[in-house]
Structure 1
Amino acid sequence: MKTFIVAGGVLAASLMLGGCASNLGGDVYTRDQARTVQTVRMGTVESVRAVQIEGTKTVVGPAAGAAVGGIAGSTIGGGRGSAVATVIGAVAGGMAGAAAEEGITRRQGVEITVREDDGQLRAYVQEVSDGQLFAPGDRVRILTVNGTSRVTR
């Protein structure tokens, strides 16, 4: 029965962490951005560089990890030994959960440096999207809504 509880906790933690992942690609809009007027600027890609977008660091990962670690630790020993194992399991689980959340939500990104038609040179970072590969010399649109910009073709 205890194995079933631990396995269920691990599954729940995985589902919670997966739900934290957001898409930062140029072709994904939040609900707040949909049907909102956007400013459109044109430009030419100067350079493209692969980058890594750091994962999220919320309380969900450590909390889920601590819960699972505490449950797993409570299955070890009995009496005071079980209480100590529960605390150690919760601390270790919390640390593992934080690392897991950041790793699961980490994304491959691209830094696109654009010479805009007004002469400004600006860099934009966004998640790599299947249909949005950029190369120097490409003509692109820069769409900005509510202070958030994205580069598209």
Structure 2
Amino acid sequence: MNKRILTSCLLGLTLAVGGCASNLTGDTYSRSEARAPQTVRMGTVESVRLVQIEGTRTNIGTGAGAVVGGVAGSSVGGGRGSIVTGVLGAVAGGMAGAAAEEGLTRNQGIEITVREDSGQTRAYVQEVDKNVSFAPGERVRILTVNGVSRVSK
């Protein structure tokens, strides 16, 4: 019975964390950005470097981890011992769940430094899109909608 509960909790954690993932590439728009007017600026790529985009940190990973850890811990020992191990398991599980959520939702990013035609130089960070690459000297468009900018070809 406890294995079923543990398996169900782990599956729930995986689905919950996966549902939190968002796409931050240059060609992905949120629903609120679709059909909104955009400001378009042109520029030339100065440099490109890979960066890490940290994962999300919500209470979902912590809560799911605490449930899994509490269930797993309470199955150890009996009486007061199972209560103590249940509490310790919940604390450890919560910490592990938070770390797992952040790790699972972490993305490879790219920082693109662009010298805009206006003369300003700005850096933009977005998720790596394996179908699009940027190189120094290349002409690009900077699209801004609702305060969110992205670099596109």
TM-score bin (small chain): over 0.9
Q: Which residue pairs with 2:126 in the alignment?
A: 126
Structure 2 portions without partners, runs of 5+: none
- Number of positions where the alignment pairs a residue of Structure 1 with one of Structure 2: 153
**Offset of residue 127 of structure 1:** 0.2
Q: What stretches of structure 1 move > 4 A for 4+ residues in a row? A: none
Q: Which residue pairs with 2:33 in the alignment?
A: 33
Alignment of 1:4-153 (within 5 A): 4-153=4-153
With the length of structure 2 as denominator, give the TM-score of the two structures: 0.98
Provide the C-alpha distance between the structure 2 equivalents of 1:28 and 1:133, rounded to a whole number of angstroms: 15
Provide the C-alpha distance between the structure 2 equivalents of 1:149 and 1:132, rounded to a whole number of angstroms: 17
1:114 maps to a residue whose letter is V
**Offset of residue 131 of structure 1:** 1.9
1:13 maps to a residue whose letter is L
1:59 maps to a residue whose letter is N
CA RMSD of aligned residues (A): 0.6
2:127 maps to a residue whose letter is E
**Offset of residue 130 of structure 1:** 1.9
Provide the C-alpha distance between the structure 2 equivalents of 1:51 and 1:35, rounded to a whole number of angstroms: 30
**Offset of residue 132 of structure 1:** 1.9
Structure 1 portions without partners, runs of 5+: none
1:112 maps to a residue whose letter is I
With the length of structure 1 as denominator, give the TM-score of the two structures: 0.98
2:51 maps to a residue whose letter is V
